């Protein structure tokens, strides 16, 4: 029996980023990669040093929909599991009424994005004016 080829998490994430880029270019959402890690850097004296990025447990992607609806999206393979710090982050989001989702494929992601786009479209009349009124009280310069 031939073995099923495993798709890498980075491949799934790249596919999702391509999809999100299309939506972003249409003005439907804003997103950024927000994962944490370390980047090796050489110092002037030639020594190796690691530059830490992000915050441990932070979702791979953060998606912001109109009305300031923010979704933390963690990308995993079919058999991938959340680490303990990722579970704590997920629980933190959910306990505070924030959105967090784990996706395992591009096919699974598109209906989730469409669900949030539909929700924000319905909420636009009430959310956006409230957000604009609050934003008017905040410094932006």
Residue 4 has pLDDT above 60, yes or no: no
For residue 3, what are the CA distances in angstroms to 6, 59, 106? Answer: 9, 30, 21
Q: Is residue 138 one of the residues assigned to a domain?
A: no
Contact assessment for residue 110 and residue 22, using Cβ atoms and an 8 Å cutoff: no
Helix (H, G, I), strand (E, B) or coil at 117: helix
The domain total for the chain is 1
State the average pLDDT for the chain: 90
Q: Is residue 104 one of the residues assigned to a domain?
A: yes
pLDDT grade, residue 118 (50/70/90)? very high
Q: Is residue 23 one of the residues assigned to a domain?
A: yes
Q: What's the whole-model pTM score? A: 0.83
pLDDT digit string (tens) for 72-103?
Answer: 999 999 999 999 999 999 999 999 999 999 99
Rounded distance between C-alpha atoms, residue 23 and residue 16, angstroms: 11
Beta pairing, strands 69-75 & 99-103: parallel
Chain centroid to CA 82: how far? 15
Domain that holds residue 107: 9-132
For residue 113, what are the CA distances in angstroms to 19, 108, 135? Answer: 10, 9, 25
Q: What is the CATH number of the domain that holds 65?
A: 3.40.1350.10
Q: Is residue 16 one of the residues assigned to a domain?
A: yes
Q: Is residue 113 one of the residues assigned to a domain?
A: yes
Beta pairing, strands 69-75 & 61-65: antiparallel
């Amino acid at each position: 029996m031939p073995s099923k080829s495993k798709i890498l998490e980075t491949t799934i994430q790249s596919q999702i980023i391509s999809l999100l880029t299309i939506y972003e270019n249409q003005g439907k959402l804003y997103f950024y990669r927000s994962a944490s890690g370390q980047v090796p850097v050489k110092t002037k004296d030639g020594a190796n040093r690691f530059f830490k990025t992000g915050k441990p447990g932070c979702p791979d992607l953060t998606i912001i929909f109109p009305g300031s609806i923010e979704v933390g999206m963690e990308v995993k393979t079919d058999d991938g599991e959340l680490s303990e710090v990722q579970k704590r982050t997920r629980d933190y989001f959910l306990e505070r009424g924030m959105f967090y989702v784990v996706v395992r494929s591009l096919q699974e992601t598109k209906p989730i994005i469409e669900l949030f786009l539909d929700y924000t479209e319905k909420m636009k009349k009430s959310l956006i004016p409230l957000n604009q009124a609050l934003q008017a009280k905040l410094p932006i310069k």
